[in-house]
Amino acid sequence: MNNSLVSIVLPIYNGEKYMRQSIESVINQTYKNWELIIIDDCSSDNTPIIAKEYAEKDNRIRYYRNETNLKLPRGLNRGFSLSKGEYLTWTSDDNLYLPTAIERMVSAIETENADFVFATCDVIDENGNVVEIIKAPKDYKIAIIGGDFVGACFLYTRNVYETVGDYDVNKFLVEDYDYWLRIFYRFNVYNIEDVLYQYRWHDGALTSTKKKDRINSMCEKVLWDNIGNYGRLSIIQKYYFYSHLHRLRQSKEDKKEKNKYKLKAVFYNMYYVLFFRIPNKLKSFSKK
């Protein structure tokens, strides 16, 4: 494994509660050739003090403060514009890398000839207890249009960044899912099944403080904005696509809006079960 520089962008807003843990998880990586770019989005708490403290102690850590509150997508774009690494990623102030995360992902990119790698994540509560897991399905390369399972532990090459470009500032709250959709159809992606990251879910987390309906509507828009890039969809892809759209509409609090995806979701679900799931289970059973 070579020693390519890894750029890690840390966008932050009033993150004093957990940010030390997040920064320490980067410092404690077994892979040492990294730069941490902290983008402070006009925090009003002790975030600047803590960030500067770490930047003064470790020259791999750089701190920048936005003059105005830019929101996450613009903050990410600023961070990556300042990056120098061959490999890129971003993390959050309340999340944690496990010690071998960066090393394992760099190795996977190089040994699997991948452009984008992502790993399984534990979801933890405020006290660090594991409450859930974010894990990709086996057919993740086509299932991406059926939901965002990438999670928060990922790494991609500079070529991906230069090709795909910036995060879409109009996709706030789902800017990451939009980015993955833009990557999956044109690059080689690889999933590391081991847990390499802890994603903290708490009342202050960005997605937990926003209305679910808004996120669902944005996800629906993101799917339609990107699906044309995937060409003619196979039956399995249609199953994932319409099932996802159906779930987004079903989970909306406002039930007055007609779920126009229901019939297609039911049809492709039945087709998938009859011609793919059942035959695969029979094959698996016959091998035992």
With a pLDDT cut of 70, the percent of the chain lying above it is: 93
Residues of the chain with pLDDT under 50: none
CB 155 within 8 A of CB 105: yes
pLDDT of residue 251: 81
Give the whole-angstrom CA distance, residue 265 versus residue 240: 9
pLDDT of residue 196: 98
CB 24 within 8 A of CB 50: no
pLDDT of residue 205: 57
Give the whole-angstrom CA distance, residue 32 versus residue 4: 10
Q: Catalogue all structural domains in the chain, each as residue range(s) with its CATH number.
A: 6-209 (3.90.550.10), 232-286 (no CATH)
pLDDT of residue 275: 85
pLDDT of residue 129: 95
Give the whole-angstrom CA distance, residue 135 versus residue 141: 13
Residue 120 burial (CB count, 10 A): 18
Total residue count of the chain as it appears in this document: 288
pLDDT of residue 281: 76
Q: Which two tokens stand for residue 288?
A: 């035992």
pLDDT of residue 204: 59
Residues pairing with 142 in the sheet: none
